[in-house]
Amino acid sequence: MKISPITEAERFKHLDVIRGFALLGILLMNIVSMGGLWRAYDNPLMFGHAGNLNTGIWIFLHIFMEGKMRALFSIMYGATIIFLTSRLEQQSTESADIYFRRTLWLFVFGIAHAYLLFDGDILFTYAICGLFLYPFRKLNPKVLFGIAALIIGMNAYVSYQRAAETRSVISLGKAAMEASSNNQELTEEQAEDLNDYNDWSKYSTPTLRQMEKEARPWRGSALEVLKTRAEEVFDNHSDPIYSFGNTKYDVWCMMLVGMALLRLGILTGEKSQSFYLKFLLFGYGVGVLINSFTAWQIVQSQFDPFTMDLMSTTYDVGRLLVAFGHIALLMLIVKSGLMQWFTGRLALIGQTALSNYIFQSLITSVIFTGYGFELYGRLDYYQLYIVVIAIWCVQLVITPIWLRSFKYGPLEWLLRSLTYWNSQPMLR
């Protein structure tokens, strides 16, 4: 049998709706670094004068969106691994060849995206993780959940250790500062503590002058923007894959969950409405409670860095449970036939997720960097979300129009053609 890409008839609308929802939602978080307010990702009070509005937006995102959209995106990628390889193995013995070729091309796409458009690219990480996950595709869902739970536990331990280190840096640094202010001669150890504290302060509580200095290269010429981004990307990509606590373990964990959920039929709408209702109540009931508590603690501490690090010990549990709630809610909406005008558009965006993901980076590069309007760091935190809504509207309108004439998004067509070494038919 000739190996061929997945056809439109073989697609699961449920998967595409979740993927489309995650694709739109991920911009809510990416926009902060795209717009030059990346330090406000964890502390919206650092920028602008709309303190209450900014804090309110941050609380909503912390509870329902931050990390949850990345989790959904990763869950869908894990599900795609099972869906793609199962189908390929029915067609040919060359399933591994196709799978790894597709993953390596995604690796190339990720490098190009990161260096040219957005240093927060996730495709590179997905490709790296995807290379290791192929042998896991036939594991029992319980085993997949077990491995994911182990990673979540280890991530929580790393977060706790990070919080302890932050507390140590602050306490020792302040003690050394007090000794210095009292004209005491600092020991070599105290001098080192003071230097560590000053370095930490520059990163966690930068001055307006420092932030403006960091923003200036992003508003420079295209070459200056490329140089600045390349420095950031090189550091990120150089992070050792075995360094625990980095994004790769986050992604691996959620991909394993996605593989298990697909094997159980949860992502393909095979369960009953009562099951999804219970899934929703469990996910939102526990997850929202956890995230609301951590949000309250962080806001009460005025976004104290130690408190934020300490609260991150429950990060993966809270975001995964809320992601479960999002999945269950979307499943209930699709199965009940409600909001078909909206879920239909979400499904089309899910079909063209790669093109729409890169489009978000392209348009924000033009808006914020020296590629175009040079607004990097010049908008308030809440103003970034006006940009998000505008981009969503464009994507929800343009994507259905494009797919009336074409079978794939432009980058989906390119990836399929490169994966199968054969130019795919584009026109309907």
The residue ranges of the chain whose pLDDT is under 50 are none
376 in Cβ contact with 369 (< 8 Å): yes
Whole-number pLDDT of residue 6: 64
Helix axis angle, 315-336 to 273-300, nearest 10°:
140
Cα atoms in the 13 Å half-sphere on the side-chain side of 104: 9
DSSP letters for 221-269? -HHHHHHHHHHHHHHHHTS-TT-TTSHHHHHHHHHHHHHHHHHTTTTTT
Whole-number pLDDT of residue 46: 82
130 in Cβ contact with 103 (< 8 Å): yes
114 in Cβ contact with 233 (< 8 Å): yes
Look-up: residue for tokens 């995106």?
73
**Cα 387 from Cα 368, distance rounded (Å):** 11
Can you tell me whether residue 304 is helix, strand or coil?
A: coil
Tell me how crowded residue 162 is: count the other CB atoms within 10 A of its CB.
16
Whole-number pLDDT of residue 7: 63
Reported pTM: 0.93
**Cα 330 from Cα 300, distance rounded (Å):** 33
Tell me how crowded residue 27 is: count the other CB atoms within 10 A of its CB.
24
Whole-number pLDDT of residue 4: 62
147 in Cβ contact with 141 (< 8 Å): no
- Please, what is the Cα angle at 166 between 163 and 167, to 5 degrees? 90
Look-up: residue for tokens 């997949």?
144
Whole-number pLDDT of residue 245: 58
104 in Cβ contact with 128 (< 8 Å): no
Alpha helices in 352-383 (DSSP H): 353-368
The C-alpha torsion from 193 through 199 and 203 to 206, rounded to 10°, is: 110
Length of the chain: 428
Look-up: residue for tokens 């923003």?
215
Tell me how crowded residue 138 is: count the other CB atoms within 10 A of its CB.
12
**Cα 245 from Cα 121, distance rounded (Å):** 18
58 in Cβ contact with 8 (< 8 Å): no
271 in Cβ contact with 14 (< 8 Å): no
Whole-number pLDDT of residue 318: 96
**Cα 32 from Cα 377, distance rounded (Å):** 9
